[in-house]
Amino acid sequence: MGMAKAIITKLLNRAGIDINGTSPWDIQVHDERFFGKVLRQGSLGLGESYMDGWWDSTHLDQFFERLLRRGVPAVSLLNLQELSWWLKSRLVNLATEEKSVAVAKRHYDLGNDLYAAMLDPSLAYSCGYWKSLSWDSKCLAAAQSAKYNLICRKLGIKAGQKILDIGCGWGGFARFAAANYQVQVVGITISKEQAIGAKEKCQGQPVEILSLDYRKLRHELGPSVHFDHVVSVGMFEHVEPKNYREFMEIAHALLKPEGLFLLHTIGGHGFVPGHDPWMRKYIFPVAQLPRRPQIHRSVEDLFRCRDWHEFGKYYDPTLMAWYERFTQAWPQLKSRYEDREGGRFFRMWQYYLLCCAGAFRSGNLELWQIVYSHPEYHDNYHWIR
């Protein structure tokens, strides 16, 4: 135990984090088993020991910002189990249709009441666009509307067009585009709860919501159906690298030659070639963050890149707004969720939101909006910000 404590203390000190210190980013250790668990299990042990109440930090987001920005490399928190998972991911497709449905049940089907309490009224579960807005939870709805409008403007959407939304969530973009740009939208999701919520919210609008895996799109819609534009927001993170080419081929086949395809996704970089092991176990099973080279390879000979817009800094205020709304709503949510994960749901969700906020604030994670066209697209494309 003494050696484990010395090693973990040294690693944290490199990031300016003290054990039982007085700064808001320092950690307070309540159980000495914390040190051995983190040394053995890396980031998985860090998250699980927090869920178990073995340690706290006054500002968990600042703890992670410092951890990731100020000198603790990802390899310091790796372990053999994580390396084994990565090797398996290189050999086996971890995002089959069956496993993708399991992801939806594990996370997106938790309960629409949880997401309604945490998210803005449109139920946008992706980064808002905070340009010209105060980074304040009161502006969350405005930031999400600004994101929807930015997408529509980048695509050059015109009244009467037909849009495909791959991974439509609760239908927020579909409703916005239909109401503000007078278009028809077909949205797909594999989440049962999302589909129910989206259909309810989209009633009376020219929006069709399909409970469908993206791999069945061409078969379901038929060879004669094409869309003026295709959009996918916050779904590509679940596709898995072995499926990137198929995903792009489907978007390519369904997009009209003169249309545009916008991909909105979180992107990763650094040493760890997958997703955080704690995040995979408790939040997003089998998820992996794409890298720029992987995306470039997947679109080769299919699309030309017209715009690559990085605004990951805006995920920080988005996540902090979600965290504020979640904690404020917890007294109403508690009776339904407090017994999940062995009574650790609140601390699990708190850890999830704040570690992600710190990761984006540190620059360890990025957020990309990429606009693609068919190679034969001849219009001059103008960047929209």
Distance of alpha carbon 155 from alpha carbon 149, whole angstroms: 10
Q: What is the pLDDT of residue 84?
A: 42
Choose the catalytic residue: 127, 168, 355, 356. 356
Helices (H) and strands (E) in the chain, counts: 15, 9
Angle between helical axes of 172-181 and 140-155 (0-180°, round to 10):
60
Q: Is 384 exposed, middle or buried (0-12, 13-18, 19+ CB in 10 A)?
A: middle
131: its two tokens: 């340009």
State the SS3 of 235-280: CHHHCCHHHHHHHHHHHHHHEEEEEEEEEEEEEECCCCCCCCHHHH
Higher pLDDT, 222 or 276: 222
* Cβ pair 215, 251 in contact under 8 A: no
Give the torsion sign (CA, 212, 213, 219, 222).
Answer: positive
**Helix, strand, or coil here: 314?**
helix
Amino acid at 127: C
Distance of alpha carbon 187 from alpha carbon 210, whole angstroms: 6
Q: What is the pLDDT of residue 377?
A: 87
pLDDT above 90 as % of the chain: 79
- Tens digit of each residue's pLDDT (9 = 90 or more) over 142-171: 999 999 999 999 999 999 999 999 999 999
Average the pLDDT over 192-220 and give the result: 96
Element holding 89 (H helix, E strand): helix 80-91
Phi, psi (rounded to 5 degrees) for 115 = -70, -35
- Per-residue pLDDT band for 280 (boundaries 50, 70, 90) equals confident
- Per-residue pLDDT band for 100 (boundaries 50, 70, 90) equals low
Q: What is the pLDDT of residue 276?
A: 80
Average the pLDDT over 178-183 and give the result: 98
Give the torsion sign (CA, 292, 293, 297, 298).
Answer: negative
292: its two tokens: 């720029």
Distance of alpha carbon 348 from alpha carbon 360, whole angstroms: 19
Q: What is the pLDDT of residue 75?
A: 39
pLDDT at 86 over 50: no
pLDDT at 113 over 90: yes
Q: What is the pLDDT of residue 151?
A: 98
Phi, psi (rounded to 5 degrees) for 355 = -70, -35
Q: Give the angle 262-265-124 at the CA atoms, nearest 5°.
A: 90
168 catalytically annotated: no
Q: What is the pLDDT of residue 79?
A: 47
* Cβ pair 180, 200 in contact under 8 A: no
Amino acid at 73: P
